[in-house]
Amino acid sequence: MQLLFESLFNGVAIGSVLLMAALGLAIVFGLMGVINLAHGELIMLGAYTTYVVQLIFKLPALQPLYNCYVLVAIPLAFVVSGVVGILLERTVIRRLYGSPLETLLATWGVSLILQQFVRSVPMAYAAGLILALVSGFGLPLLLPSGWFAGARARLIRLGSWAFSAFLGVCLAGGLASQIDRIARADARNVDVTAPQWMRGGLEMADMTFPVPRLVIIVMTVMAVVGVSWFLNRSVWGMRIRAVTQNRSMSDCLGIPTETVDVLTFGIGSGLAGVAGVAVSLLGSVGPNVGGSYIVGCFMVVVLGGVGNLYGTVLASFAIGVLTDLIGAGRLLSVWPDMPAPLASAVEFFATTSMAQVMVFALIVVFLQFRPAGLFPQKGRMVEA
Amino acid sequence: MFQSLQQRRWLLVCLWVLIVAAIVAAPAILPVFRLNLLGRFLSLAIVALGIDLIWGFTGLLSLGQGIFFALGGYAAAMYLQLSNAGDLPNGIPEFFGLYGVKELPFFWHPFASPWFTLVAIWLIPGVLAGVLGGLVFRNRIKGVYFSILTQAALLVFYNFFNGQQKLINGTNGLQTPATKLFGQYVGSDLMQRWFFWVTAVVVILIWALLRWVVRGRFGDVLIAIRDDEPRLRFAGYNPTLFKTLVFGLAGALAGIGGALYTVQSGSASPQFMEVPMSIDMVIWVAVGGRGTLVGAILGAVVINFAKSLVSEALPESWLFIQGGLFILVVTALPEGVIGWFRGEGPGNWLNRLGYCLNILGNWLIRWGNALIRQSTAFPWLNSLGINTLGNWLIGWGHALNSVGIVRRIGTYPRLELEGQVEVQP
């Protein structure tokens, strides 16, 4: 019984990280049909944001609040990744709607650039740049729209950008002077130390639950609930679904499809940033951290069935539990006296990487029977 | 430009003579290091040709060609390891000693035979690709899903090869330079030179083979699959069969490329199966021009050379350049550089340039004529040499006009000279 719970918990823990990472991808891929290979790098940006926030909270002035830096990191990571995602959508992906394979190649190029960006630009300056972008795009939305009428519009726009640039330079300079570790470019991996309350484990009925894992599970649950509420209950969620189902009809009915595109992509990217916070709590963060998640994320989306949130949830937990089952060789402890050849086969796959081999092979086999995943989208078109 | 090139047979012959001469003379001109690089990049061009066949002509974007590339490489490396294992302790390759393996794993045995290896290099990847592809195509999984599945398969193989120290030396891979072939070390300059020549000849042969394939009826079916698969199916063809065949062929080509790459780079390792490597392969084709065989070859060779040159000079900036290149090619040149050359590209630009030159030339002629006219009205101007200036301008105008005429056959409007010569003494 205890074994069952332990196994289930580990599986759910693995699955919730996957789900967190795949949620944004499911939205972007499922609703927009865009293959975003830079998704892993958006996760990485979220993880680095957590690192920077943590360093900021180590400053003497903020030291008393150190314990709750994660709570600040989550929205910040959402904003950072979301803004980069929106920028990506506006500049590159917008030109490539309708040709998923092209978006795949272009976003791969973006992911290379982002990786090298993290390696060769000091984090302090990157933070300044992002702040400048956020405020540059955000100010015109915040200022009263009356200001932008007439001849002054260009002047005000210019002024808001100048102000944003000033803000960015201030932040970059301040961070670089205060925190040595992010004042220079650094290609090495960095470690995020969890606050005191997130270390150790929670003892319950002879079992220990590692607290970071629990936090991630809670984060995931909240993210899934939030996203499903947003998509199913809110006005903009309804618009997103409408555009997904029939773009030209929605356009005719007055839904601003371009805004919907930006919003969808921004939310998907922002969720990647939140996943980055989760990833940073689990291990060290490097420029290549995204690459290790991206294939798994795509497998989750494909297995779950495209455009279906519940499929994604189920698929990621299934993959998590299976990975734990195979990777830890649980079958052996349940059934100690299994025949020798079978036992050696189980042992052969009882490492993390071999478990991945096995799980992916199982997914490919599964897709032989259900080519469109667990919950296929129903349509009336003849799939040739 | 290219069309006129094709029409002139003797130019084509000259081109071939040049290519052959370049290949024969390359070892004499290039330093050993560069020659080795060129040889490697040519073997990558073979992989790129395979990708061009399945992506450019058939519309299947595979992100897993690294699997077949690595399998070919491993087959070659295993033969080389075994071929001089007689000199080694236990009669098995040295690395097995590190993991306490006493006996050769069963699947190594056939690779002791050179003939088996020569067949295995392309047959094993080809058959594997055919089987994997067949399973996927049978379910009508296509487009993006196919790409994702091939990428997942790539990761599966990567993890598998990475983890198996006792069977194939895991992460370290199999090294070849210290092994012998025909009594020579594989890493020696002489052998490398021969490998270069062999690679170059193989590239040309495969190019010719693929050219024949895509120009025939088989190629028509492939293009039909790319452009409208349902219609082809309704016309009574079975696309699954063709897709499986062509994917197997591409896998076989990747295997050949991998084997040639391995003997020239000195090792076969799981790094061949890293995700970025396989995507890079696709990008070579995308940049060179999908659907054009020459584009695939040029893309592979030129991008890799650029990569090695840029990484030597500015190691940090290559990823920026590469990423920017991808985005640029996908958004601005979807047909790749060669496709652009053949289609819209330079003809259009040359046309525009020619048009500008033409206008400029006409302007100059008009000015010159005007000046000369003035000089006849006011004789004192003559003494200032205005007449010569006018003649000189007219001369330039004519020169620009004759450069500026670019007549292309096809959809582009012909630009005609409008300037009339009316020189007055």
Closest approach of chain A CAs to the CA of B144, in angstroms?
A: 6
Quick check: A109 and B323 CB within 8 A? yes
DSSP string, A193-249: PPPGGGSSEEEETTEEEEHHHHHHHHHHHHHHHHHHHHHHHSHHHHHHHHHHH-HHH
Element (H, E) at B184: strand B184-185
Q: Which two tokens stand for residue A117?
A: 């960006």
CA dihedral of B231, B236, B237, B238, whole degrees rounded to 10: 100
Across A274-309, b (16+ Cβ under 10 Å) vs e yields bbbbbbbbbeebbbebbbebbbbbbbbbbbbbbbbb
Spell out which residues of chain B touch residue A294, defining contact as CB-CB under 8 Å. 275
Q: What is the mean pLDDT of each run of 10 residues along chain A (384 residues)?
A: 76 85 85 84 90 83 76 89 90 81 85 86 81 80 72 78 85 76 71 72 71 84 90 88 84 88 90 89 81 83 79 87 78 69 73 79 80 68 48
Spell out which residues of chain B touch residue A354, defining contact as CB-CB under 8 Å. 159-160, 163
Output the pLDDT for position B173: 78
> B294 — contact with chain A (CB < 8 Å)?
no
Closest approach of chain A CAs to the CA of B241, in angstroms?
A: 15
Q: Tell me the sheet residues that pair with A204.
A: A207
Question: Measured between alpha carbons, how far is A239 from A267 in angstroms, rounded to an integer?
Answer: 14
Quick check: A368 and B139 CB within 8 A? yes
Who among A100, A295, A353 is closest to B163 (CB)?
A: A353
Closest by CA to A135, choosing from A164, A165, A166, is A164
> B171 — contact with chain A (CB < 8 Å)?
no
The CA distances from residue A212 to A45, A78, A81, in Å, are: 20, 19, 22
Closest approach of chain A CAs to the CA of B205, in angstroms?
A: 30
Question: Measured between alpha carbons, how far is A102 from B333 in angstroms, rounded to an integer?
Answer: 11
Output the pLDDT for position A153: 75
Closest approach of chain A CAs to the CA of B50, in angstroms?
A: 18
Quick check: A116 and B316 CB within 8 A? yes
Closest approach of chain A CAs to the CA of B138, in angstroms?
A: 9
Q: Is B174 helix (H, G, I), strand (E, B) or coil?
A: strand
Who among B139, B148, B331 is closest to A302 (CB)?
A: B148
Q: Cβ-count burial of A337 within 10 angstroms (0-12 exposed, 13-18 middle, 19+ buried)?
A: exposed
Q: Is B16 helix (H, G, I), strand (E, B) or coil?
A: helix
Task: Give the chain B residue whose CA is nearest to the CA of A93.
Answer: B331
User: A-contacting residues of B 251-280, CB under 8 Å?
Assistant: 275-276, 279
Residue given tokens 């690192």 in the structure block: A51
Spell out which residues of chain B touch residue A95, defining contact as CB-CB under 8 Å. 331
What residue spans define the domains of chain B?
Answer: 25-334, 345-418
Output the pLDDT for position B402: 62
Q: Which site among A295, A368, A370 would you substitute to test the B interface, given the most B Cβ atoms closer than 10 Å to its Cβ?
A: A295
The CA distances from residue B249 to A50, B118, B130, B279, in Å, are: 47, 16, 8, 19
Output the pLDDT for position B353: 66
Output the pLDDT for position B251: 93
Quick check: B144 and A367 CB within 8 A? no
Spell out which residues of chain B touch residue A117, defining contact as CB-CB under 8 Å. 320
Quick check: B229 and A384 CB within 8 A? yes
pTM: 0.81
> Among residues of chain A, what percentage have pLDDT more than 70?
90
Spell out which residues of chain A touch residue B280, defining contact as CB-CB under 8 Å. none
Tally A–B CB contacts below 8 A.
119
Give every residue of chain B whose pLDDT is below 50, as ranges: 1, 5, 406-425
Closest approach of chain B CAs to the CA of A94, in angstroms?
A: 10
Quick check: A92 and B327 CB within 8 A? yes
Residue given tokens 């080509």 in the structure block: B253
Output the pLDDT for position A32: 79
Output the pLDDT for position B88: 65
Who among A96, A112, A353 is closest to B162 (CB)?
A: A353
CA dihedral of B20, B25, B29, B30, whole degrees rounded to 10: 60
Q: Which two tokens stand for residue B226?
A: 């790319």
Question: Measured between alpha carbons, how far is A39 from A114 in angstroms, rounded to an integer?
Answer: 11
Quick check: A354 and B144 CB within 8 A? no
Residue type, B421: V
Sorted by sequence, the CB contacts under 8 Å of residue A276 that are 6+ apart come out as: A42, A43, A44, A45, A46, A47, A48, A49, A50, A77, A81
Quick check: A101 and B61 CB within 8 A? yes
Task: Give the chain A residue whose CA is nearest to the CA of B284.
Answer: A105
Spell out which residues of chain B touch residue A104, defining contact as CB-CB under 8 Å. 61, 144, 147
User: B-contacting residues of A 102-161, CB under 8 Å?
Assistant: 102, 104-106, 108-113, 115-117, 119-120
User: B-contacting residues of A 324-383, CB under 8 Å?
Assistant: 351, 353-354, 356-357, 360-361, 363-364, 367-368, 371, 382-383
> A384 — contact with chain B (CB < 8 Å)?
yes
> B322 — contact with chain A (CB < 8 Å)?
yes
Quick check: A101 and B147 CB within 8 A? yes
CA B316 to chain centre: 25
Spell out which residues of chain B touch residue A298, defining contact as CB-CB under 8 Å. 148, 151-152
Output the pLDDT for position A156: 79
Q: What is the CA radius of gyration of chain A?
A: 23
Q: Which site among B139, B144, B229 would you substitute to test the A interface, given the most A Cβ atoms closer than 10 Å to its Cβ?
A: B144
Question: Measured between alpha carbons, how far is A119 from A287 in angstroms, rounded to an integer?
Answer: 7
How many Cβ atoms sit within 10 Å of the Cβ of residue B124? 18
User: B-contacting residues of A 12-41, CB under 8 Å?
Assistant: 33, 35, 37
Output the pLDDT for position B424: 41
Quick check: B230 and A382 CB within 8 A? yes
Who among B141, B320, B334 is closest to A102 (CB)?
A: B334
Output the pLDDT for position B51: 92
Output the pLDDT for position B86: 62
Per the document, the length of chain B is: 425
Element (H, E) at B185: strand B184-185
Q: Which two tokens stand for residue A298?
A: 């795509």
Quick check: A302 and B145 CB within 8 A? yes
What residue spans define the domains of chain A?
Answer: 2-36+191-383
The CA distances from residue A83 to A79, A142, A262, A263, in Å, are: 6, 16, 10, 10
Residue given tokens 């189920």 in the structure block: A314
The CA distances from residue A36 to A27, A40, A285, A360, in Å, are: 11, 9, 21, 20
Question: Measured between alpha carbons, how far is B58 from B44 in angstroms, rounded to an integer?
Answer: 20
User: B-contacting residues of A 161-220, CB under 8 Å?
Assistant: none
Output the pLDDT for position B44: 92
Spell out which residues of chain A touch residue B233, defining contact as CB-CB under 8 Å. 384
> A100 — contact with chain B (CB < 8 Å)?
yes
